[in-house]
Structure 1
Amino acid sequence: MNYKDMFRMDGEVALVVGGGSGIGQAAAEALAAQGARVVVADLRLEGAEETASRIQAAGGQAEAVQLDLVDHSAVRHRINNILTRYARLDTAVSTPSINVRKPLLEYTDEEFDRVLSVNLKGTFHLLTEAGRAMAHQGSGSLIAFSSIRSLVVEPGQGVYAATKAGTVQMIRALAAELGPKGVRANAIGPGVIDTPLTAPIKNQPDWYNAYAAKSVFGRWGKPEEVAGAVVFLASKAASYITGTIIFVDGGWTAVDGRFTPPL
């Protein structure tokens, strides 16, 4: 192992879905900073273009594409297009998620289907299509975004939490199935991170501050603080790591936090 280059990805190709904002944008920029050519995909093409422009302005290599993870044929086409153009796909990152916050007893079938369609089925589309390509080439890193909600829940998060736990189990299955082909599969579980998905909470100070207090650092995380985990799992530094989840949660899942006893 050349430790000086263990995080470098020169000559590699990475696909980041959801790269138009938040954690996806930070992940795309971080991978590009390590030398990867990044295909920035997002449902909003303008968001993907903004991220690609930021990468290019910093001297990196990137292109922007529109992609809806729910559309399986579109995902397959995008993967095939990457293989046609670059003859390889080294890293695939799936970040998109949606949430409908309401009690389970009030959920409609339509809302249930919508959350599962994006969070679980969409992730399945990317992981399987990218995984098939990587298995053929004999190498690659699949990275899916789960959440602290794969372990702990709160009222109104039941369906979202189920999708995030399901994502971890899919990752574990892929690690077992594709490991012999040289492909690694891992998940990242963010805590509370300032992103467009969590933006509505900032408008409710009590809620926002309560979440901040649950972290041992007393604050929310930033997208760039999650990007390091993406780079790690995509790089040679994680060559013997597969089938696991890395929590980037400021200690949320480690510390009880309800009461600090006098010591």
Structure 2
Amino acid sequence: MEDFGRLFDLTGKRALVIGAGSGIGAASAQGLAAFGAQVWCADINDAAVEGVVKDLPGAEGLHFDIADASSSANVLSTLGTPDIVVSTPAINVRKRLAEVSDEEFDRVIEINLKGNFRVMRDFGRAMAANGGGSMIAFSSIRAQVVEPGQGVYAATKAGVLQMLKVLAAELGPQGVRANAIAPGVVETPLTAQIKNDQRWYEAYRDKTMLGRWAQPSEMVGAVVFLASEASSYVTGSYLVVDGGWLAADGRFTPPA
């Protein structure tokens, strides 16, 4: 008889959380540790990641710049291959497409798309050679629905989703699972511009079926699920955690 009580147990698993210094990344690191994983907390902000690590027994902080091509290789050569990788970093330039400069376009692509490509390529290759693993990256509801001012960001989030699907197809035979999590509106540093505009904040709040924004901690269930044996037959998926945003119609034109 199956021991279903241990489906979410991550004891003995090594998890790398990229972007663990704040927001969804910090919550993900805390959640994985709570279920028994040994967590490597990686972030470009060393002080922030050390603040997270001090409250997680056995966790280790790492400097990681997702825009630096050597970051993944440095982790692999120093610590070996993780069983679980969670990638959360993203930036946004809220401008209409006609106003986006080449430099702004390149900056968003470099972090959101190319950075995640390197993570998938380098850690996916290592996981495949190691006999398996779980690759989790954060996409967004913007991979499916858009609004003015979100063009480049939405393109990168759709790209992350499609790359994960390809990774799942290519590395599935080697035991590597690859899945995307798609948050809706979450109160994080990335959404500060919206939170500071009461009209905008309330419009987003009211668009959800639950009538509120999400907290970073509410992404943890999806992360632990996809990291654990509870999702052993789940790969190439797009797990939406959006309070019902995509399921309901509604219109709002933001000031961007």
Specify the TM-score bucket, using the shorter chain as the normaliser: over 0.9
Q: Percent identity at matched positions?
A: 56
Partner of 1:64: 61
Residue of structure 1 equivalent to 2:41: 40
Cα RMSD (Å) = 0.9
- What is the SS of the residue equivalent to 1:210? helix
Structure 1 window deviating more from structure 2 (194-203 vs 226-235): it is 194-203
For residue 54 of structure 1, report the CA deviation from its aligned partner: 1.8
1:55-101 residue CA offsets vs partner (Å, 9 max, x unmatched): 12xxxx20101110111112211122121xxxx41100110000000
Between Structure 1 and Structure 2, how many residues are aligned? 250
Mapped partners of 2:90, 2:147: distance in 1 = 17
Q: Deviations over 1:181-237 (max 9, x none)?
A: 000000000000000100121211000000000010100001000111000000000
Q: Which amino acid aligns with 1:65?
A: L
**AA in 1 matched with 2:210:** F
Bigger drift between 70-79 and 128-137 goes to: 70-79
Alignment gaps of 5+ in structure 1: 259-263
Q: Which residue of 1 aligns with 2:4?
A: 3
Give, in angstroms, the shift of residue 257 of structure 1. 3.6
2:88 to 81, 84, 95: 95
Match status 1:17 vs 2:18: yes
Q: What displacement does 1:133 show?
A: 1.1
State how far apart, in whole Å, the 2-side matches of 1:231 and 1:125 are.
23
- Give the alignment of 1:7-156 within 5 angstroms: 7-56=8-57, 61-83=58-80, 88-156=81-149
After superposition, the C-alpha distances for 1:94-144 in whole angstroms (9 at most, x for unaligned) are 100000000101111000000000000001111111111110111100001
Matches within 5 A, 1:207-218: 207-218=200-211
Q: Give the aligned residue type for 2:221.
A: G
What is the aligned partner in structure 1 of residue 254 from structure 2?
none
Q: TM-score, normalised by structure 1?
A: 0.93
Moved over 3 A (4+): none
TM-score, reference length from structure 2: 0.96
